């Protein structure tokens, strides 16, 4: 295998449409590998009806299912634990089409594909790479946090203290369901013998190690970033603030809206999700813009003063924050976000506790009234945060090299780690 190079990439992900940063990264890998002339197959849990992928001659193998919260509750309960149909679909494709030059990259499985995907991938695990966009590889709720309070979890995953902790945002019964799912996953995926795991930020490493993944299996590869706007947004001339993300509790849109109202500013909300109807009814003075294309996001970002990223858990990367900063938009982020120390150190934004509505609102109000500070932060965000991500071209080159290394089997693992530490 030493002289073989990858001739096909198989990307596995719950979704085929960019509903969040993780899927956006998975789709970007497909686009970049196709640009290199590489054959690409997407194995996805949803309908697979992404016109851009079809136009790019990507083979799509789709299960045709919906995300857990949108599915029939009884089906979601069972298939979320172990989706036999996802296992069978993937296993059939591998049996019929796998070659020694095929590399597999698993991105997201917690919504549709389920832990069953690890059983299907067992025959090709020596050519498998995992991306940890969250902590579902080791943590039952995927966040290493208490989702109602945002407090970082101190427990070892699946230890007695972990099982006893009521960390789910809905109920302890749902936490126990998550524990059951994690135990099923452990049956097919042993963290101690994990294939290489790519993380977008090195601060994720201690959490994954606490879950049993060896340090030697973890490699840092910052996300590919495309700024909302190519030039610096004159944020100091704008008044509205911006939220971009899924409208679900983990992303904290309700926290952003409550603080914006208290601060007396208008929030432009870009994104869709289960909370949209309720939030639009509760905050009629705000602007709910729905999901937007890249051009649509750019148009609204150009009229924004700053961006809010008030996640309820330790955001592993926060792609939208870097996209905003590279456009010259200052950001206010959750203080436990992995990027928070670097954002603050660069002078490109502030960190806060978004559950403290008064403190969050006071921070927004100060920036709403201080053009000079916003102008300074905007300039620093635009020029001094480039080390927080990679351009798509640079990321694609590094990713292809990682695939090439992985194809060489165990001999390539040291090279995978070395490449992850290379200068950006």
Would 285 be classed as within a structural domain?
yes
pTM of the model: 0.91
Confirm if 309 and 245 have CB atoms less than 8 A apart: yes
Would 2 be classed as within a structural domain?
no
Q: How many domains does the chain have?
A: 2
Confirm if 25 and 225 have CB atoms less than 8 A apart: no
Q: Which of 204, 163, 160, 155 is nearest to 181 (CA)?
A: 163
Same domain for 298 and 156:
no
Same domain for 404 and 260:
no
Residue 36 contacts by C-beta under 8 Å, 6 or more apart in sequence?
A: 396, 400
Would 424 be classed as within a structural domain?
no
Same domain for 380 and 402:
no
pLDDT of residue 1: 45
What is the Cα–Cα distance from 321 to 384, expressed in whole angstroms?
Answer: 14
At 130, list the tokens: 């995992």
Confirm if 200 and 223 have CB atoms less than 8 A apart: yes
3-class SS letters over 183-220: HHHHHHCCHHHCCCEEECCHHHHHHHHHCCCCHHHEEE
Residue 254 contacts by C-beta under 8 Å, 6 or more apart in sequence?
A: 275, 279
pLDDT of residue 410: 58
At 310, list the tokens: 């008030």
Would 3 be classed as within a structural domain?
no
Q: Residue 71's domain spans which residues?
A: 8-224+390-418
Confirm if 216 and 234 have CB atoms less than 8 A apart: no
Same domain for 400 and 319:
no
Tens digit of each residue's pLDDT (9 = 90 or more) over 150-209: 889 999 999 999 999 999 988 999 999 999 999 999 999 999 999 999 999 999 999 999
Same domain for 410 and 378:
no
Phi/psi of residue 199, nearest 5 degrees = -120, 145
pLDDT of residue 19: 75
Same domain for 282 and 209:
no
Q: Which residue in this structure is represented by tokens 């590919």?
A: 224
What is the Cα–Cα distance from 210 to 52, expressed in whole angstroms?
Answer: 39
Stretches where the chain sits below pLDDT 70 are 1-4, 71, 409-424
Tens digit of each residue's pLDDT (9 = 90 or more) over 94-152: 999 999 999 999 999 999 999 999 999 999 999 999 999 999 999 999 999 998 888 89
CA atoms within 13 A on the CB side of 84: 3
What is the Cα–Cα distance from 294 to 311, expressed in whole angstroms?
Answer: 22
Same domain for 161 and 82:
yes
Helix (H, G, I), strand (E, B) or coil at 89: helix
Residue 63 contacts by C-beta under 8 Å, 6 or more apart in sequence?
A: 44, 45, 46, 83, 85, 86, 89, 112, 113
Same domain for 412 and 349:
no
Would 304 be classed as within a structural domain?
yes
Phi/psi of residue 351, nearest 5 degrees = -110, 145
Would 302 be classed as within a structural domain?
yes
Same domain for 272 and 370:
yes
Would 357 be classed as within a structural domain?
yes
What is the Cα–Cα distance from 197 to 114, expressed in whole angstroms?
Answer: 18
């Amino acid at each position: 295998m030493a002289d073989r190079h990858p001739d096909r990439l198989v990307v596995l992900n719950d979704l085929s449409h960019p509903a969040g940063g993780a899927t956006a990264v998975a789709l970007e890998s497909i686009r970049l590998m196709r640009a290199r002339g590489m054959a690409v197959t997407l194995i996805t849990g949803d309908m697979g009806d992404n016109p851009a992928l079809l136009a790019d001659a990507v083979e799509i193998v789709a299960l045709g299912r919906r995300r857990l919260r949108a599915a029939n509750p009884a089906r979601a309960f069972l298939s979320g634990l172990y989706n036999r149909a996802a296992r069978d679909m993937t296993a059939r494709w591998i049996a019929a089409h796998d070659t020694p030059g095929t590399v597999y990259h698993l991105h997201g499985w917690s919504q549709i594909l389920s832990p069953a995907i690890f059983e299907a991938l067992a025959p090709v695990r020596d050519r498998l790479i995992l991306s940890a966009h969250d902590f579902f590889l080791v943590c039952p709720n995927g966040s290493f946090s208490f989702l109602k309070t945002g407090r970082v979890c101190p427990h070892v995953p699946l230890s007695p203290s972990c099982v006893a902790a009521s960390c789910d945002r809905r109920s302890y019964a749902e936490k126990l369901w998550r524990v059951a799912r994690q135990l099923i996953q452990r049956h097919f995926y042993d963290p101690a013998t994990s294939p290489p795991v790519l993380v977008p930020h090195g601060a994720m490493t201690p959490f994954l190690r606490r879950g049993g993944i060896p340090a030697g299996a973890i490699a840092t590869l910052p996300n590919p970033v495309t700024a909302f706007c190519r030039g610096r947004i004159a944020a100091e001339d704008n008044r509205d603030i911006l939220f971009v993300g899924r409208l679900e509790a983990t992303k904290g849109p309700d926290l952003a809206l409550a603080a914006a109202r208290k601060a007396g500013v208008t929030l432009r909300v870009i994104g869709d999700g289960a909370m949209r109807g309720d939030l639009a009814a509760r905050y009629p003075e705000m602007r709910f813009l729905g999901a937007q294309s890249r051009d649509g996001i750019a148009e609204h970002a150009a009229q924004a003063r700053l961006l809010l990223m008030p996640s309820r858990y330790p955001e592993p990367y926060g792609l939208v924050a870097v996209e905003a900063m590279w456009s010259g938009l200052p950001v206010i982020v959750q203080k436990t976000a992995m990027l928070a120390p670097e954002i603050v150190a660069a002078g490109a934004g502030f960190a806060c506790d978004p559950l403290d509505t008064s403190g969050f609102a006071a921070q927004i109000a100060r920036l709403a009234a201080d053009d000079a500070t916003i102008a300074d932060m905007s300039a620093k965000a635009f020029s001094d945060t480039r080390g927080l991500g990679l351009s798509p071209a640079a990321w694609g080159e590094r990713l292809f090299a990682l695939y090439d290394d992985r194809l060489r089997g165990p001999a390539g693992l040291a090279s995978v780690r070395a490449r992850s530490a290379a200068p950006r």
